[in-house]
Structure 1
Amino acid sequence: MKPMKSLGFYEKRLKDLENNITEDGKLLSQYEEVLRYESDPRAMGRFEKEIERQRESVTRYQQEYTELKQELIGYQPTEVLYVEKQLQQMDEKINVLLKGQVVIYKNQYKMRQALLERYNASEKVIIGSITQQLNQTQLVLTENLLQALDNNMVSEPEMQQMLAALEDRLPSLPHHQADIAEIIKDPEMDARHKLKVTLPIIPMLVEYEGELELGSGFNVKSAWQQLVTKLRRK
């Protein structure tokens, strides 16, 4: 049997290891939460590097855990099994996050490319930088609105209503304010074309909590009215 001093020393190391893993687990959960809403590829890349560092930490923790487990043979406190479970959970979460982010990034890239295919070269200059700032939920909303517009599911009065609400919000537009304002006020451009170019800016101005299912699951009338109402709130 190991001397009490030696046993206490290893128990303390085990407890410190448990605390370190717990803190890193909390940090990993924070990364997971942020990545759900992140759309900037550069930011996603930074978080991916941080998650990779977490993997390195898990490797070090695993090595220390293996050493401590050997030292505590014959005296296995419950913390040993708990630490082993913590390490397994962290390793699994890291694998899911890193694999998942690649899938999310590729999906968002495809959605942005599909969205840009709707526009001509000059319009892409305006829309391109805007779409880069949209997360997946916002991209889905934009696509739904554009589909509704293409399928004549929005009436002329509803289009005019949306354009008026957008014009009122021109001072708060984050980017390309002059370009968007020029489009909205262009007397030679019809309402449908104006909205086609300006719709991607809407998710940047308001949040939408409605159903975002593609196709028949999307309630165009309800969503349109919600967005107009929210745009009018300054």
Structure 2
Amino acid sequence: MANTYDFADRAAVVTGGARGIGRAVAERLIEGGARVALWDRDAAKAEETARELGPAAMAVAVDVTDYGSVERARDATLDQFSRIDVLVNNAGIAGPNAPTWEYDLDAWRQVMAINLDGPFHCCRAVAPVMIGQGYGRIVNVASIAGKEGNPNAPAYSASKAGLIALTKSLGKELAAHDIAVNAVTPAAAKTEIFSQMTEEFIGYMLSKIPRGRFVEVEEVASLIVFAASKECSFTTGSVFDVSGGRATY
């Protein structure tokens, strides 16, 4: 039986919420009583997931790389829910596998735009709402790659390291407003992001995990939901590891 946290009367945003870790997080938030906006660039999939999750979920089409799109998504969410208490920045891509000196320039820019600019855009748009409420929880989904760096994944590693740094900076800025900003650094989970990776690279990632398996999306969601809850009341600007022992710091 999973732990449950009280999200009654809370409204949450989960980017990349249509599938994978994002969907698992949305399910747990709804179980706790939250209303959840699924922000996703795949509008059709977001609508399908929202229907499956029930009346507490709404789908919002958004391109997190476009700040205007993020502002419109924020406003649509506020129109429906009147508040935003939780922001989970989960949307991300892996990008291709290649050594740094051969890495495609456009691919680098795309990974950075989604994985780092996207969370920045969402934090920038939503933080003033939370400041006005005097309450909020922001959880950024980074990666073990942001701590250790993965070979042949320079853009992904750098983007996730940047997201960890953004978490630390924003956590200090918002600490006085009862707004906690934390990150999680999961090992790889078997989601659709695997389709962007080579089999060799997937094998490398598995070999680095002392647990000897990939993390389940439900395990990542469990940690995210704690960090998104009111019970995470003192920790901010921190990183919660969920790498199966790969990193112990």
TM-score (norm 2): 0.25
TM-score (norm 1): 0.26
Higher strand proportion, which one? 2
Structure whose CA Rg is larger: 1
